[in-house]
Structure 1
Amino acid sequence: MPNPLRSISHPAVDFLVTFLRGRVQRARSGELDRGASAVEWVIISAVVVAIVGVVAAIINMALSDGANKVKDCIDGADEKGTC
């Protein structure tokens, strides 16, 4: 029995059917693990960026505190005294 949908075929429909068959075949073959690996890398990268941000904030606070102490020492020093 001939396929009734074949007589009203359109290039866009043919492309869609072929594309979907390829996607189903990929899903069955297990090739979709690459997407999971990409997600894992994104998560790992986000964690590393967060850690670097926290470390940078801590270093910035330490340097700012040290700079303020030096500034206060300079402002309060007289000709004969030291901090």
Structure 2
Amino acid sequence: SDKGKAPLVEEQVPLVQDQAPMVIDQLQIFQEALREQQEGLERQRAAHQTLETKVDGLVSNVGSLNDKFDQLLAFLKKP
């Protein structure tokens, strides 16, 4: 029995003309917040890409140093 149960689809309250400016303001605030969040994410992505480039450079430098140490050790082991 469906007696006492809430309807599955709630009735929508019609938008009163007086509420329109408030709704517009809220939507503009929401839109601005989304824009700011997107800009923040883009800045974060750019920072991560810069960091990734720097880390790649460091990995390359460490690899080069390891090669040089190997050469130095081989040279020092020669009689």
Alignment of 1:4-83 (within 5 A): 19=14, 22-27=15-20, 30-32=21-23, 33-77=25-69, 78-79=72-73, 80=76
| Aligned counterparts of 1:58 and 1:24: Cα–Cα separation in 2 | 50
Residue ranges of structure 1 left out of the alignment (5+ in a row): 1-14
Shift of 1:23: 4.3
Higher helix share: 1
Moved over 3 A (4+): none
Shift of 1:31: 0.7
CA RMSD across the alignment: 1.8
Which residue does the alignment assign to 1:5? none
Residue ranges of structure 2 left out of the alignment (5+ in a row): 1-10
Equivalenced residues, count: 61
Residue type at the aligned position of 2:38: A
